[in-house]
Chains A and B, each alone.
Chain A
Amino acid sequence: MKHFYKFLAIAAIFSITLMGCSEEDSIPKIEEEDLFPQTVTAIDGLYVLNQGNMNTNKASLDFYDYASGKYLKNIFGEINPDATLGLGDVGNDLGIYGSKLYAVINKSSKLEIMDAKTAKRLKVIDIDNARFITFAKGKAYVSAYGSSLNGFVTEIDTSTFEIKRTVEVGRQPEQLAVVDGKLYVANAGWASAPDYETALSVVDLNSFDVINKIEVGANLLHVKADKYGDLYVSSQGDFGAIPSKLHVIDTKEGSVKKTFDVPVANLTIVEDRAYVVSSTYDWDNDKNITGYHLVDVKNEKLLEGSFLPTSVSDEIKAPSALAVNPVSKYIYIADARDYVSQGKLYGIDKNGNLKFTIETGDVPASIAFRYIAK
């Protein structure tokens, strides 16, 4: 019996010791790295939203401060220690409007509104399966898949953070843009493949009703407006017989006026140039073929050559986030690499010289420039 009691005593001590060394879940600390200082213009820095793989709850926010040249990684948790489970699962889109920063978190079904200066949380708005955001006249517009057949767009007042109105659009709405008092929403419809959606929904911002549909092509994703009243829209096709294409839409006529045979992976427009990343899967050689094209949006012409130096384009495996600083014309492009480890951000000056590379969070998805408050 003595042995038995001794054993129990030892077991008890053992258990208590092990209980004692359990650590509390800690909020990840901000990591700081020295990058390359830049001249502060109207823009003094940029935010990067990283998706994080689905179910990992690792959406994260980075900030690149131009004046100090510091790159701060994973800033949300430390700045907002009271936010339960942090920024959330799958960061999809990022935008800055006025003094506020907006992060659309897809799988966490929320819009996170922060102070653009401090990244402090101001408000969280629940939006079921939210996808993309755009702004016009003091309002934010967020597209969302929702939980029924058709998705919707929600209108939010950017000063009171109230949801003003909601309008039903097509199946799986993606990017959206405002031109001349009208909101254009890309509908994808991939959940019902092969019955993809093929049209943009046109929402009148006065009545907040869908007033028209513009036929474009199968499985729409990107929508960006230029300053000439045209929209650049990508149709992703069916990943088979129907290829992905880039379309130019005349919003006055409400129809497609030009189509480029470019399979669009990402798209941004700054002044007279559209920067278009193309990507197609080559089944024979089992790899992605990527391209970096410029379109002259004034003359609607695809220009020769690549907007990236080959030293950068040869390195990038899976192009993801893309942004061009409208003042300095610096190009920022991210590589999601294998999608399961940290991404990489490249900074290229307007002469095409690579200025820096930096590791970001997992799957960098979206970039927003911060303007100095007036």
Chain B
Amino acid sequence: MYSSERGLPGAIVANRYSHNQRQWDRNLFVHASLENSFFKNHDLLANIKFSRDYNRYVDPEYISLDGQLDNRYYQSEWYASLVNKYSIANWWEVSLATDFAKNTLSANLYRFPYPTRYSYFAALSTQMQWERLHIQASMLGAYVDEQVKQYYKGDNQKVFNPVISVSVQPFETSDFRIRAFYKESFRMPTFNDLYYTFVGNSSLRPEFTKQYDIGATWIHNNNSGLLRTASVQADVYYNRVTDKIVAMPSSNLFRWTMMNLGEVEIKGLEINTDTKFDLPRDFKLNLGLSYTYQKAIDITPKGSTYGDQIPYTPNHSGTVTSFLGRREWDLHYSFIYTGERYSQKANIPVNYVQPWYTHDLAVGWNGKLLKTNVRLSAEVNNLFNQYYDVILNFPMPGRNVRFNLSITI
């Protein structure tokens, strides 16, 4: 059970520096699972879950004959899954997973369609594992049946998605492995995409993604010496997204429509390194670096922005994290960098968004006070008080300080 109420941020634009929209959320779920084995080498896992979400949005600036805008949404889900696993040999396993979900949405909105979605999934997968070669393959089939009480109804969908992944150890040492995968996935238009808008779009197709990835990992552990662990992971990938679902404002400001628009091609490189040191006098040091290069290009045929980097996707981004500890004391420092981006589809000067980066520092103490375990910590986030926007015109906090006290009983 989870419940929250909060003020919503609004865009900070010329002549308008404050907002008073509010939102309430309440989530409730119950969950049960069962594990059993009916015969040798067989495993069965059954899950059932029910959840109910309530969401309320109030906008005091939107006044109708019924008073201020007060939208309430109720969403509920029944979910059941059954997984059967069978080991054919000690290196070969097959499994069949079947899932069923029923989702409903209702709201106190004018012309609301009250949709119900029945989703059926079946996935057949196999896993083969030898000492120097792992292979996984699966095929997912999905069928989504959509019903509405009134107005426009989303189309029923039938989808098949294969996945294959391989991991090889080419040399004697188990420190180094090469991996590769091919994956197809899809994103169904959500209830939000289809029905939250003033007039939903009934003819949305699912968004499809194809991913190709090849990478290598090197992990080395030492039992003695200064350097205890070092690891490097590197991946290059190529993704292709078709029928991307996007929201577009229509002729009337308050009437957005959702559309399948666009093809995106993504070429990327990702590197992660991690090192752990044991220094003299009980000092421990961790140092992690990560870097991503991404070229995500709009390749929509006949599009006005063909060849441009898609919005809010930087070419370069990275993080540095470090940790220095000695007995009950610890010191954390992290640095996050997000490169230059564009806030709209066209890569032109007016849409340019500055790179941003922040330095965060934290110090902590773990110990015992009055026989209870206590942790005290202090954080300074955005140490150099830099102004930055993650999303244009939604400014992020400047330097801020936080103190934490946690007690374990």
Interface of A toward B, CB cutoff 8 Å: 1, 3-4, 7, 11, 14-15, 18-19, 22-23, 25, 28-29, 31, 53-58, 60, 74, 83-90, 105-110, 124, 126, 129, 147-149, 171, 190-195, 236, 239-240, 265, 279, 281, 283, 286, 318, 320, 337-342, 361-363
Q: A195 — nearest CB in chain B belongs to which residue?
A: B65
Question: Are B11 and A57 touching (Cβ within 8 A)?
Answer: yes
Size range of the interface on B?
35 or more
Interface of B toward A, CB cutoff 8 Å: 10-16, 60-66, 69, 110-111, 152, 198-199, 201-203, 226, 246, 248-255, 261, 277, 279-281, 283, 285, 287, 304-305, 320, 322, 324, 333, 335, 337, 343-346, 348-350, 354, 357, 359, 384, 386, 392-393
Q: A124 — nearest CB in chain B belongs to which residue?
A: B15
Given contacts A4-B279, A29-B349, A191-B62, is CB(A338)–CB(B261) below 8 Å?
Answer: yes
Nearest chain B CB to A253 CB, angstrom units: 30
Question: Are B15 and A58 touching (Cβ within 8 A)?
Answer: no
User: Could you say which residues of chain A place their CB within 8 Å of the CB of B251?
Assistant: 265, 279, 318, 320
Nearest chain A CB to B202 CB, angstrom units: 7
Question: Are B248 and A340 touching (Cβ within 8 A)?
Answer: yes
Question: Are A60 and B350 touching (Cβ within 8 A)?
Answer: yes
Given contacts A3-B277, A108-B13, A339-B249, is CB(A58)–CB(B350) below 8 Å?
Answer: yes
Q: B287 — nearest CB in chain A belongs to which residue?
A: A7
List 18 additional contacts besides A3-B285, A88-B15; criterion CB under 8 Å. A14-B320, A15-B359, A28-B350, A56-B344, A57-B11, A60-B350, A89-B14, A106-B253, A109-B16, A191-B63, A193-B111, A236-B252, A265-B251, A337-B304, A339-B249, A341-B305, A342-B348, A361-B350
Give the dominant DSSP class at B's interface: loop
User: Could you say which residues of chain B place their CB within 8 Å of the CB of A147?
Assistant: 60-61, 63
Among B10, B12, B344, B354, contact of A341 (Cβ-Cβ < 8 Å): B344
Question: Are A53 and B249 touching (Cβ within 8 A)?
Answer: yes
User: Could you say which residues of chain A place their CB within 8 Å of the CB of B279?
Assistant: 1, 3-4
Nearest chain A CB to B65 CB, angstrom units: 4
> In whole angstroms, what is the CA distance A182 to B349 when docked?
45
User: Could you say which residues of chain A place their CB within 8 Å of the CB of B344?
Assistant: 53, 56, 58, 340-341, 362
> In whole angstroms, what is the CA distance A3 to B226 when docked?
10
Question: Are A7 and B16 touching (Cβ within 8 A)?
Answer: no
Question: Are A341 and B304 touching (Cβ within 8 A)?
Answer: yes
> In whole angstroms, what is the CA distance A339 to B250 when docked?
7
Q: Which 5 A-B pairs have the closest CB atoms?
A: A88-B14, A55-B11, A89-B13, A85-B14, A192-B64
Nearest chain B CB to A199 CB, angstrom units: 15
> In whole angstroms, what is the CA distance A36 to B393 when docked?
36
